[in-house]
Amino acid sequence: GAGVSQSPSNKVTEKGKDVELRCDPISGHTALYWYRQRLGQGLEFLIYFQGNSAPDKSGLPSDRFSAERTGESVSTLTIQRTQQEDSAVYLCASSLDATGEFYGYTFGSGTRLTVV
């Protein structure tokens, strides 16, 4: 597609439930990133994919968080047993390549997750 697409745009879930957030990157973008933005805060890096592998997962806050990418395209971020502190906007971004010259990312509009 023309841009990075994320779904759902909003998600309200009960504490303890699992949620799945989806990201469709720009076609042909091999690098994909997930970031989290808590209310009034900057963006925190979660995980980076190059193709279908994730060489950097250093930002995942706990083992309740996992992500996968298939077909060098769609990525899913899964949060198990959600907690109230997981409430945030989850942003996905993609870029053409993560090596060599780097021109920055294109971000999606994010998924606003609210855990009640």
Partner 1 sequence: AQKVTQAQTEISVVEKEDVTLDCVYETRDTTYYLFWYKQPPSGELVFLIRRNSFDEQNEISGRYSWNFQKSTSSFNFTITASQVVDSAVYFCALSEPYNTDKLIFGTGTRLQVFP
Should residue 7 be labelled a site residue for partner 1 when binding is judged by CB under 8 A?
no
DSSP assignment of 26-92 equals -TT--EEEEEEE-TT--EEEEEEEETTEEEE-TT--STTEEEEE-TTS-EEEEE-S--GGG-EEEEE
Residue type, 98: A
Should residue 45 be labelled a site residue for partner 1 when binding is judged by CB under 8 A?
yes
Q: How far is the CB of 2 from partner 1 (least distance, A)?
A: 13
Helix (H) or strand (E) holding 20: strand 19-24
For partner 1, the closer CB: 14 or 42: 42
Should residue 98 be labelled a site residue for partner 1 when binding is judged by CB under 8 A?
yes
Interface ranges with partner 1 (CB under 8 A): 31, 33, 35, 41-45, 48, 50, 55-56, 89, 91, 93, 95, 98-100, 102-110, 112
